[in-house]
Amino acid sequence: MHLLLIRHGQSQNNYLEQDPDYLKGRLPDPPLTELGRQQASRLAEWAACDEFYRRITHLYTSLTTRAVQTAAPLAQTLGLSVHGLVQAYECGGLNSGPAGGFTPVLGRDHTSLQMECPVLQWPEELEGKAWDGGCEAWEDRRFKERAANVLTQLQAIASEADVITLITHQDFAQYLLAHVLGLPSRRGHALTFLFNNTATAHIELRANGKGSVHRIAHWINRTSHLNSDLITH
Ligand SMILES: O=C(O)[C@@H](CO)OP(=O)(O)O
């Protein structure tokens, strides 16, 4: 299986991170900025012309607004539906942030998120319900467990030649990459891999015929679809 991880485009929170009042202005479930939408469009345009991206067989996304908005142009270009993956959200889940006492915040429902991405398929486990936002304590073991679950879910649906794409988040991608590459565990906020907005990471899991699997990192943090003035972190 080929796993293509994509970080969402620049969100309003990513933009605000340069502001000293960031923690006060932080939104629980921020939308993309105009620049973030441009990044997502560039990725879709790139995908239409790139041999590897045109092989994408499945599109999955976290149920945050910024991830679903990033999925929309890519899905349209590739003519694929987008499947919501409950556990692919950012570490910590949706909450009001430090200024709001980290109060849990509910996620959106299917109808509302379909306004961002009409081809969004709702996860069966949430049938008739909105996403609960996944608010969780900041504990390394939770993120590792979620990353392992997400990869198990994706591997269960994938055949060897499939290219499975998941739109996810900077911190959670660190756990996914560590798990899929078999790296030692990381702790806290330290980043192992730079993962810019709409950057991609391509990891291949290839059975070697002797009962084990080769893990091949083809690339991490690729932003070939963006001019340098569109690269943000
Ligand atoms: O939650 C966030 O704001 C950041 C944390 O680094 O992650 P992402 O922008 O990838 O969602």
Q: If we measure between CA atoms, which residue out of 203, 175, 159 comes closest to residue 62?
A: 175
Q: How high is the pLDDT of residue 208?
A: 84
Q: Sign of dihedral through CA atoms 158, 162, 172, 203? A: positive
Q: How high is the pLDDT of residue 223?
A: 98
Measured from the Cα of 8, ligand 1's closest atom is 10
Q: How high is the pLDDT of residue 73?
A: 98
The C-alpha atoms of residue 69 and residue 114 are separated, in whole angstroms, by 10
Q: How high is the pLDDT of residue 186?
A: 66
Measured from the Cα of 195, ligand 1's closest atom is 10
Residue 120 confidence (pLDDT) above 80: yes
Q: How high is the pLDDT of residue 22?
A: 87
Is any atom of ligand 1 closer than 6 Å to the C-beta of 26? Answer: no
Query: How many other CB atoms sit within 10 Å of the CB of residue 224?
Result: 11
Is any atom of ligand 1 closer than 6 Å to the C-beta of 90? Answer: yes
Which of the four pLDDT bands, split at 50, 70 and 90, describes residue 187?
low
| pTM beyond cutoff 0.90 | yes
| pLDDT (mean) for 97-118 | 95
Residue 85 confidence (pLDDT) above 80: yes
95 contact partners, CB below 8 Å, separation of at least 6:
28, 102, 103, 104, 105, 133, 135
pLDDT per residue over 20-60, tens digit each? Answer: 888 888 999 999 999 999 999 999 999 999 999 999 999 99
What is each CA distance from 128 to 11, 50, 105, 133, in whole angstroms? 28, 37, 19, 15
The C-alpha atoms of residue 193 and residue 178 are separated, in whole angstroms, by 10
Is any atom of ligand 1 closer than 6 Å to the C-beta of 10? Answer: no
Residue 204 confidence (pLDDT) above 70: yes
**Which residue intervals of the chain are DSSP H helices?**
12-16, 22-25, 34-49, 65-78, 110-114, 140-157, 170-181
Is any atom of ligand 1 closer than 6 Å to the C-beta of 29? Answer: no
Q: Among the listed ranges 42-56, 118-132, 150-164, 174-188, which one has the minimum average pLDDT value?
A: 174-188
Measured from the Cα of 17, ligand 1's closest atom is 3
CB 199 within 8 A of CB 222: yes
